[in-house]
Amino acid sequence: MKKSNKVEAIAFARYIRMSPFKIRRILDQVRGRYYDEALVILKFMPYKACPLILKVLQSAVSNFRYQFKASTSSLIISEARVDSGPILKRFRSHAQGRGFPIKKRMSHIISSV
């Protein structure tokens, strides 16, 4: 078994009431970049998911500082992903007495630096 010298810190945000599809399009822009670049990108993007992702990313960097007592000047976002959480299933009334299903999706955001 090979041991790697790679150090990383992870942060989670679970049960976010937003669709994973909406979050994923922003995480694709941030993944693999330096932390400073990602901050600038997230601060100036006009999407509702940006503050949530920024919060998780800052938590991962804070965890890194606490665990390794190292500088954060050259941190790279190694992993940024979103998984689907539970789905709230609701019904809305529709024509001719029918019910129309509505799926309110949740997400789990995982970030590591």
pLDDT (tens digit per residue) in 92-111: 999 999 999 999 999 999 99
Nearest to 77 by CA among 33, 27, 36: 33
Collapse the DSSP code of 95 into the 3-class scheme (helix H, G, I; strand E, B; otherwise coil) and give the result.
Answer: helix
- Domain ranges for the chain, please list them: 10-112
Statement: residue 7 has pLDDT above 60: yes
pLDDT at 4 (0 to 100)? 58
- The architecture (CATH level 2) of 10-112 comes to Alpha-Beta Complex (3.90)
Statement: residue 6 has pLDDT above 80: no
pTM of the complete model: 0.83
Statement: residue 37 has pLDDT above 70: yes
Q: With pLDDT > 90 as the criterion, what percentage of the chain qualifies?
A: 76
Q: H-type helices in the chain, by residue range?
A: 20-30, 35-44, 50-68
- 27 confidence band (pLDDT: 50, 70, 90): very high
Q: What is the rounded average pLDDT of the residues 46-52?
A: 94
User: Which pair of tokens denotes residue 53?
Assistant: 């992702």
Tell me the C-alpha distance between 40 and 2, whole Å.
36
Nearest to 16 by CA among 26, 1, 6: 26
pLDDT at 24 (0 to 100)? 94
Spatial contact of 68 and 8, defined as CB atoms under 8 Å apart = no
Strand order in the sheet with 10-16: 10-16, 99-112, 79-93
